[in-house]
Amino acid sequence: MANLVPGAYRQVSVADVDVPLAEAALHAHFEGRECYRRTRFIVAGHGGQHALVEVELADRRPLFSPAVEVTVLALPGETIYLHRPDIDTGVPSQLARVARDHPAARCVVVEGRYHHVSFLLDPDPIVVHVLEVVPPEPAKLLDQAQRVLDLAEDLPPMLLVPDLVDLDGLAPPGREVLLPCRGSGVALDGAVTHYLDQRPARQPWFLVGCARSREIHRWCYGDDAPNVDVCPRTLATQRPSHAALLTKCCLLEDDIEVAAEAGGAPQAVVPWGASLDQVRDALRSLARAAMPAWAPA
């Protein structure tokens, strides 16, 4: 099973053993040995190397019980033990970021924050492309999604890939520019910038906006301006991807939308001013679509 992560760090024990970290020796060492009732996984160490073992106990109700079944999940040649005090080992996506830097390891064991030890076995994180426009920077949706994943103990391992579209490259040079909102603090380099929400006097500007901006422009000025559509949702249709996609659209006001083409990758769209809860719901929907059976072990 890919992306095996313990449901809680207390399921993981770390033990130095005096036997070689070979399958037969590990079976002989742990079979019949008393283990604490919470223990399910043992990171066995010997001579600077490590292996991962799973144990089933005769009875998990007493404080200690003998191991009646031993499964060697990973041997030293495929296991790496890392000290990363910046990593919360209870968060699968944080473990996935560590595993990304060690692609040769099937089992990435991390001693992280609070000296808690956990692991990610057979890493296969869900890759989510986040399509957003900049400036402003940092890209808000990307930042929100990363903040969610930094705390999400109940989501499978997920990695974000930024797909950022620079607004500076979308407006023709030398034109006055109309942007939707002054509140974003955006000003394009080398351009006289106006803001639609300030309802300035009509100028021969170029509108850098979206469908809603064009609607507001017609309402305020009774006509259309030359424009480029910078709606991330629209831009996504021009940048097909085989990975899951998270983006946003100002035509959505309260709900998120999740869809997938037949045989294609799932896409989640949140409102332009999405809350962290809405971003979390979108990521959860993408996770269910990509890996419906996943759960912490």
Residue by residue, DSSP assigns 118-161 as EEEES--PEEEEEEEEESSSS-HHHHHHHHHHTT-SSSPPEEEE
pLDDT of residue 34: 97
According to DSSP, residue 4 is labeled B
Joined tokens for residue 35: 């283990």
pLDDT of residue 170: 81
What are the structural domain ranges in the chain? 9-121, 126-166+232-290, 171-229
pLDDT of residue 168: 81
Residues 6+ apart with CB under 8 A from 146: 160
Interatomic CA distance for residues 179 and 194, integer angstroms? 6
Q: Would residue 222 be called left, alpha or beta, if left means φ above 0 and alpha means ψ between -120 and 50 degrees? A: left
Strands, E assignment, the chain: 12-16, 34-36, 41-46, 49-57, 64-74, 79-83, 107-111, 117-121, 126-134, 158-166, 177-179, 193-195, 206-209, 227-229, 244-249, 257-260, 266-271
The sign one gets for the Cα dihedral 15, 20, 23, 25 is: negative
Task: Using alpha carbons, select from 11, 16, 241 the residue that is nearest to residue 116.
Answer: 11
Interatomic CA distance for residues 95 and 33, integer angstroms? 30
pLDDT tens series, the chain, 297 aa: 799 999 999 999 999 999 999 999 999 999 999 999 999 999 999 999 999 999 999 999 999 999 999 999 999 999 999 999 999 999 999 999 999 999 999 999 999 999 999 999 999 999 999 999 988 889 999 999 999 999 999 999 999 999 999 888 888 887 899 998 886 667 777 778 899 999 999 999 999 999 999 999 999 999 999 999 999 999 988 877 778 999 999 899 889 999 876 567 899 999 998 999 999 999 999 999 988 888 898
pLDDT of residue 40: 98
Class of 126-166+232-290 per CATH? Answer: alpha beta
Task: Using alpha carbons, select from 12, 202, 182 the residue that is nearest to residue 90.
Answer: 12
pLDDT of residue 70: 98
**Cα dist from 26 to 30, 34, 46, 79, 211, whole Å:** 6, 14, 11, 15, 64
